[in-house]
Structure 1
Amino acid sequence: MDMKLELVMVPVTDVDRAKEFYEKVGFVVDHDQVVSDDVRFVQLTPPGSACSIAIGKGLTQLEPGSLDNLQAVVADADAVRAELVERGIEVSEVDELAWGRFVFFADPDGNGWSLQELPDWSASAGGEGYQP
């Protein structure tokens, strides 16, 4: 049985402010629909991702800022960090860990993101082991 995660609801207080932020990060706006006075659905997709996020009004009961570790994989943590800084995004230094190199940032509500550059598992396992 296949299961593909395709959409994660991200709770925000100000939909337009969050939409602008995620566009600045580089997410593509797929949809922005006002369904009713109580529901607005904005879907954004990180570049190269098969999974999107949704922000809006009336989509989730989670408190804005309550997601503390959404994670995406990137090819080069240094390059991604440099690009985000150039775009005016407040981002951490690259954090070097045994399981990858990470860059962290948060949206205006405090929903936290980590961007992981995976280690070269083949080098550490003699050509064997996990390969994404």
Structure 2
Amino acid sequence: MDMKLELVMVPVTDVDRAKEFYVRAGFHADHDQTVSEEVRFVQLTPPGSACSIAVGRGLTGMEPGSLDNLQMVIADSDASYADLVARGVEVSEVDPQPWGRFVHFSDPDGNQWHLQELPDWSTSAGGDGVSPA
């Protein structure tokens, strides 16, 4: 049985502000639908991702800013850092770790994102799957 993660709800206080932030960060705005006075659904997809996020009204009971470890894999942390800075996103310096190089940022509500450049040995990065000792 296959299971594919396709949509993650991201709790926010201001839907328009969140949508503007994510579009500025490079996400594609797929849908913006007001279903009723209680429900608005905005779907955004990171570039190259098969999984989208949704921000809106009436979508989740989570507190705005409560997601503290949304992680995406990137090809080049230096290029991603430079791109986000050029887009006006406040982002951390590149953080090198033995398990990858990271760039961190938060949305206006404090939901935290971690972008991971996988180490060369990672099979997901095209490596042979053998960790250096």
Gaps of 5+ in 2: none
Match in the other structure for 1:103: 103
Match of 1:19, SS state, is helix
Match of 2:35, SS state, is strand
Match in the other structure for 2:6: 6
RMSD of aligned residue pairs (Cα, Å): 1.4
Q: State the AA in 1 paired with 2:118.
A: L
- Pairing of 1:44-123 with structure 2 (within 5 A): 44-121=44-121
Question: 1:30 & 1:128 partners in 2: Cα distance?
Answer: 36
Question: 2:39 & 2:129 partners in 1: Cα distance?
Answer: 46
Structure 1 segments of 4+ aligned residues over 4 angstroms from their partners: none
| Count of residues paired in the alignment | 127
Match of 1:55, SS state, is strand
Q: State the AA in 2 paired with 1:114.
A: H
How many angstroms does 1:128 deviate by?
3.6
Gaps of 5+ in 1: none
> What is the TM-score of this pair, normalised by structure 2?
0.92
Question: 2:44 & 2:30 partners in 1: Cα distance?
Answer: 5
